[in-house]
Amino acid sequence: AAKAAGRNRFAVFEPAMREHVVAQTQLARDLRTAAGSGQFSLLYQPQVDLRSGRVTGVEALARWHHPARGLVLPDTFIPVAESTGTVDLIDDWALAEACRQLAAWDAAGLPRLRVAVNISAHRLARGDLAPSVGSSARAAGIDPGRLEIEVTETATTSCADEAARTLQEVRALGVSIAIDDFGTGHSSFGRLRVLPVDRLKIDRSFIATLDGRAGAGSIAGAMVAMGRSLGLDVVAEGVETAEQLDALRALGCNAVQGWLFGRPMGAGEIDSLLRSSSRVPAPRRRSPDQPT
């Protein structure tokens, strides 16, 4: 929608705009050949369960190693891939790769993790996600119950019925469903009740304001309460400070993910992290009348 509006607004292309369009077109062309040519990799970011203090899952995040441009981040290439449809190939590759990695970690004797894979609105709308998830799991020999797919609220609201049906099929395989970047789209309480959803991932913009000031946590608090009242797990993304962690614990959040616990890292680093079997730092005790 934003793209269509942009096209109408700029009837005459400025040179800079023109350059941008050329660059995007080139990127789109490169993406088509990149998919399936070994230029993509996955990094994994730990997710920590707050009850046990252990890493119980990881989120797979794609990286593109462009032969000329070097490392390209998803915020640059996913929107282009989404607008051209190439994202379907990337998402299917990521699913298969994440399953293979899960099997490799199992074989190496690591504690059994869950792996979450991001699925774009475009891929979700195609309607044949479940067979792809099923065959990826089967090919790697892993239980689909160890997979999670992350979709945004927006992805579930465009073609709502089709999306809901697809999510139901995926969930019937035992895969859990997480709503990503929760709070930035527009899903309603009623809609969340009918969608097959297991977890809410609170967008990091609502975590960034959890700085210990009175009232700072009210939005995040309302989201946690809403999720819990629907019987959902609530995960906070983008947790960077001990203050945010303390606040999230107090709010009753189930799990956390963010730089405080680990940046997205290679599969080998996840292996080392889990072998060191470290737990998250114990919550700092802070009484209300103690100055902070």
User: Contact residues for Mg ion (CB under 5 A)?
Assistant: 118, 150, 180-181, 237
Smallest separation (angstroms) from ligand C2E to the CB of 204: 6
Q: Is 267 in the site for ligand C2E (CB under 6 A)?
A: no
Please choose which of Mg ion, ligand C2E, none residue 264 contacts, taking the beta carbon within 5 to 8 angstroms, the exact cut-off set by kind. ligand C2E
Residue 196 to residues 120, 161, 170, 193, 235, Cα–Cα distance (Å)? 17, 12, 10, 8, 17
Nearer to ligand C2E, 101 or 118 (CB): 118
Please choose which of ligand C2E, Mg ion, none residue 106 contacts, taking the beta carbon within 5 to 8 angstroms, the exact cut-off set by kind. none
| Stretch 156-195 residues interacting with ligand C2E (CB under 6 A) | 180-181
Contacts with 210 (C-beta within 8 Å, 6 or more apart), sequence order: 216, 217, 220, 243, 244, 247, 248
Please choose which of ligand C2E, Mg ion, none residue 74 contacts, taking the beta carbon within 5 to 8 angstroms, the exact cut-off set by kind. ligand C2E
Q: Count the residues of the shown chain that bind ligand C2E, applying the rule CB under 6 A.
A: 25
Please choose which of ligand C2E, Mg ion, none residue 91 contacts, taking the beta carbon within 5 to 8 angstroms, the exact cut-off set by kind. ligand C2E
Q: How far apart are CA 101 and CA 14, in angstroms?
A: 46
Q: How far apart are CA 46 and CA 204, in angstroms?
A: 15
One residue of 198, 233, 240, 243 binding ligand C2E per CB under 6 A: 240
| Contact positions vs ligand C2E (CB under 6 A) | 45, 61-62, 73-75, 78, 87, 90-91, 94, 118-120, 150, 180-181, 204, 237-240, 258-259, 264
